Structure 1
Amino acid sequence: MDVRQKLQILADAAKYDASCASSGGKRKTLPGGLGSVEGTGICHSYTPDGRCVSLLKILLTNFCIYDCQYCVNRISSDTPRARFTPEEVVRLTLDFYKRNYIEGLFLSSGVLKSADYTMEQLIEVARTLREEHQFQGYIHLKAVPGASRELIDAAGKYADRLSANIELPTDGDLRRLAPEKSFATTGETMREIHARVEQSKAERQESPQAPRFAPAGQSTQMIVGATPTPDAIILDTASNLYTRYGLKRVYYSAYSPIPSSDVRLPAKSPPLVREHRLYQADWLMRFYGFSVGELAPPEQPDLPLDMDPKLAWALRRRDAFPVDVNRAPREMLLRVPGLGVRTVDRLLRIRRWHQVTLADLGRLRVSLTRVKPFIVTADHRPTVLLDSPRLAERVRPPPTQLSLFSSAVAARTGEL
């Protein structure tokens, strides 16, 4: 099988891994080196569903010793198989980079022989690029859960970001569909990465010349819709991962049905908008101060699909509104539908000099239709809007594909 055929198979197999991003790297071009992750380095280019497309995203191999029922590459699957050598991946990366097709490498893999053997192969690709070709572009490596501490240390030496996928939101889900894997094993790998990242930061505070360890941190991925687990539990798992292991991102990937799948798996994919709502809720937890219980309360453990989670919370808590934009603290302003982080920070600067009006909000490109029922300004005070049974229809945009894409962009820029 030639490299072109391998690339077709292994690039297609890699599309199911959503934990692909290029933020956080700080490598600069060295004399005689190649690539950079600053300036004209990584291009943050995204598809409408939020996936990064600026990297060469491939698997080292889709052979795998595990039999995860939700995975198209499981050992019992009859999918076409292929395997790159480390030298072939290096050559592809350099050739694609020189042609300006890509700005870095995202390399994952099925598990060959053992976690350690697979990790050694991934590290060899990164080592060759860094040491033999002086490649300073972005490299994201998959950290295989269960790999030894020494191999994780070596991977972090060469990679900008590492990711060990949790895959399913609960340990019970894993036991049912992927009995060879467990939260304990993946968590131990995440814990080791987190400890080494923190150690590296401390060492660099003492000496800026100390080596970096995975400077862009670590991420993970959860498959959504493969099990009946509600959104509240998915978000609770994500919140725990952020707290315990200092993850940069948790990625949510809608389950995609595969041929000859287990009868315990659903026949259809969940609505893509569910994945989108989870990303919005994740952003609200990390940057807006919301808790899981506020976004997905016990009486409604799944996020509503017809409106964003911030608006849904505001409609449940009408007693908290309207909010006076000239008096309210930053924490409350962030909870107003239509006001994002950057807008709120600008409002706080404006109101130091004069009373904020609707015209000021318009100049900040705030959707007045969306925010007016929830705010008080110097020239506006809502009367019966909050009590209107049609309030949700008044402030909710129509669910078109364009609005979903705009909301995805807003989620990444913080304007929810």
Structure 2
Amino acid sequence: MNERVKEKLEILADAAKYDVSCSSSGSKRKNTKDGLGNATGMGICHSYTEDGRCVSLLKILLTNHCIFDCAYCVSRKSNDVKRAAFTVQEVVDLTINFYRRNYIEGLFLSSGIFKNSDYTMERLVRITKVLRTEHKFNGYIHLKAIPGASDELIHEAGLYADRLSVNLEIPSEMSLKKVAPEKNYADVYQPMNYLKGAIVGHKEEKKKIRSTPSFAPAGQSTQLVIGATPENDLHILNLADSLYAEQSLRRVYYSGYIPISEDQRLPALRQPPLIRENRLYQADWLLRFYGFKVDEIVDQQYPDLDLEVDPKMAYALRHPQLFPIDVNQAPYEVILRIPGVGVKSARKMVAARRHGQLRYEHLKKMGIVLKRARYFLKCADKNFSHLGLYPEAIRKEITQPKRAKTISNQLSLFGAVMTN
């Protein structure tokens, strides 16, 4: 690698770290005899697959030049940063060479916007096309769909990329106009709407004609910047819920705003809201996999997520009358409401109880986080029936375990034994 390309890589890989909306889950692109790479079962850069493997992805910008001046973006045109731009061939060469050296398993490619949306999108598409057609590269490719680009370019991108993402960035159009006055929601939703229709259309056509090419097999995603504008978590989760329902997104990513300027339109944060970001991911998981509704997680009375405890624990502490849940009797959907119980462990419980009553020792072996779950369940040999009287004591015991007074006299974790 020559020094100039190395310098570009340093600049554009660093600029790409602010975009978190990448994941390779859902793609089934397989290798061919004369091809290179395989997206089946692969993950993303420094992430983990279901079987625990850590995998990596070349994550870069095509350029950090940009015609827009978004206050929250490090690549905004008024920011005094070193600029760089790859050529199409440089990105292709980097991807192939890094893959052959086993450095990466795929490519995440985004870009600032130079000249206009179509000019930028055309180059992104050309990179993926060269990789797929000339180099027979079958590894995972995640491509950023540029708002304002033509439907024709968006469609071509979907034929070569595994996943596309169109970033909303700011959770409301009013706030977007304040911090990025050159942008609007219409330009963002246009490619989202097109991708939704094209993905469905290709799936239907493939049912009739097997030779129909895949189109964005891993779907589309988006990113929301958290903390740069005043929207509360109720607003953000309602927006995410609507995106899943109306746009059929695979993922909504949440990125805590990193203070990068002294722009008066932005809050003066000392550090990114990382705990809030994590709580939003946990709440998003409850919406997608645990059957929760937005108003069960946050509502008008509690519009923001509890930063002390995870959203499922917060739900349980606000609704003590629903607990403890009998894991030997409750349906699967209700067991999922127990803090510390995941999807896999809930399934294990439902399957295991067909062969006999579940006891406390059984729960220990099922992957349940009993440090949290023990307050909210009852099994064949244990029953914590006084939970409803002491939600604040439970909160204190969980959040301040070293300083909290023992609540064994109240919840008697091992004394309140009920033998059925």
TM norm structure 1: 0.91
Query: What residue in structure 2 maps to residue 299 of structure 1?
Result: 301
Moved more, 186-195 or 367-376: 367-376
CA distance 1:36–1:307, change in 2 (3 Å): same
Kindly indicate whether the alpha-carbon contact (under 8 Å) linking 1:358 and 1:368 is maintained by their aligned counterparts in 2. no
| Structure 1 residue ranges without an equivalent (≥5) | 400-416
Alpha-carbon separation, structure 2, partners of 1:15 and 1:322? 43
Query: What residue in structure 1 maps to residue 216 of structure 2?
Result: 214
Alpha-carbon separation, structure 1, partners of 2:375 and 2:331? 18
Given residue 246 of structure 2, which amino acid in structure 1 is its aligned partner?
R
Is 1:46 the equivalent of 2:47?
A: yes
Map 1:81-230 → 2, pairs under 5 A:
81-230=83-232
State the SS of the aligned residue for 2:374: helix
State the SS of the aligned residue for 1:390: helix
Query: What residue in structure 2 maps to residue 72 of structure 1?
Result: 74
CA distance 1:116–1:397, change in 2 (3 Å): farther
Alpha-carbon separation, structure 1, partners of 2:370 and 2:85? 55
Is 1:264 the equivalent of 2:265?
A: yes
Kindly indicate whether the alpha-carbon contact (under 8 Å) linking 1:123 and 1:154 is maintained by their aligned counterparts in 2. yes
Kindly indicate whether the alpha-carbon contact (under 8 Å) linking 2:15 and 2:61 is maintained by their aligned counterparts in 1. yes
- For residue 46 of structure 1, report the CA deviation from its aligned partner: 2.5
Correspondence for 1:233 among 232, 235, 242: 235
Given residue 132 of structure 1, which amino acid in structure 2 is its aligned partner?
E
Alpha-carbon separation, structure 2, partners of 1:205 and 1:216? 17
Given residue 393 of structure 1, which amino acid in structure 2 is its aligned partner?
K
Moved more, 351-360 or 89-98: 351-360
Query: What residue in structure 1 maps to residue 417 of structure 2?
Result: none
Moved more, 375-384 or 307-316: 375-384
Count of aligned positions = 393
* Cα deviations by residue, 1:167-224 (Å, 9 ceiling, x for unpaired): 0111111111111212222111101011111111111222332100000000000000
Kindly indicate whether the alpha-carbon contact (under 8 Å) linking 1:115 and 1:147 is maintained by their aligned counterparts in 2. yes
Given residue 267 of structure 1, which amino acid in structure 2 is its aligned partner?
A
State the SS of the aligned residue for 2:375: helix
Query: What residue in structure 2 maps to residue 315 of structure 1?
Result: 317
Correspondence for 1:391 among 389, 394, 406: 394
Alpha-carbon separation, structure 2, partners of 1:108 and 1:94? 17
CA distance 1:19–1:38, change in 2 (3 Å): same
| Structure 2 residue ranges without an equivalent (≥5) | 49-53, 403-420
Alpha-carbon separation, structure 2, partners of 1:223 and 1:294? 23
Kindly indicate whether the alpha-carbon contact (under 8 Å) linking 2:324 and 2:387 is maintained by their aligned counterparts in 1. no
Kindly indicate whether the alpha-carbon contact (under 8 Å) linking 1:22 and 1:44 is maintained by their aligned counterparts in 2. no
State the SS of the aligned residue for 1:311: helix
Alpha-carbon separation, structure 2, partners of 1:206 and 1:167? 38
Alpha-carbon separation, structure 1, partners of 2:45 and 2:5? 27
Query: What residue in structure 2 maps to residue 287 of structure 1?
Result: 289
Moved more, 123-132 or 389-398: 389-398
Query: What residue in structure 1 maps to residue 415 of structure 2?
Result: none
- For residue 396 of structure 1, report the CA deviation from its aligned partner: 4.8
Alpha-carbon separation, structure 2, partners of 1:13 and 1:315? 41
Moved more, 281-290 or 174-183: 174-183
Given residue 393 of structure 2, which amino acid in structure 1 is its aligned partner?
R
Moved more, 341-350 or 389-398: 389-398
Alpha-carbon separation, structure 2, partners of 1:325 and 1:44? 38
Query: What residue in structure 2 maps to residue 20 of structure 1?
Result: 22
Q: Calculate the aligned-residue CA RMSD, in Å.
A: 1.7
* Cα deviations by residue, 1:135-185 (Å, 9 ceiling, x for unpaired): 111111000011111111100000000000000111111111111212222
TM norm structure 2: 0.90
Larger of the two Rg values belongs to structure: 2
* Cα deviations by residue, 1:319-358 (Å, 9 ceiling, x for unpaired): 1111111111221111111111111111111122212111
Alpha-carbon separation, structure 1, partners of 2:78 and 2:370? 55
Is 1:3 the equivalent of 2:5?
A: yes
State the SS of the aligned residue for 1:105: strand
- For residue 65 of structure 1, report the CA deviation from its aligned partner: 0.6
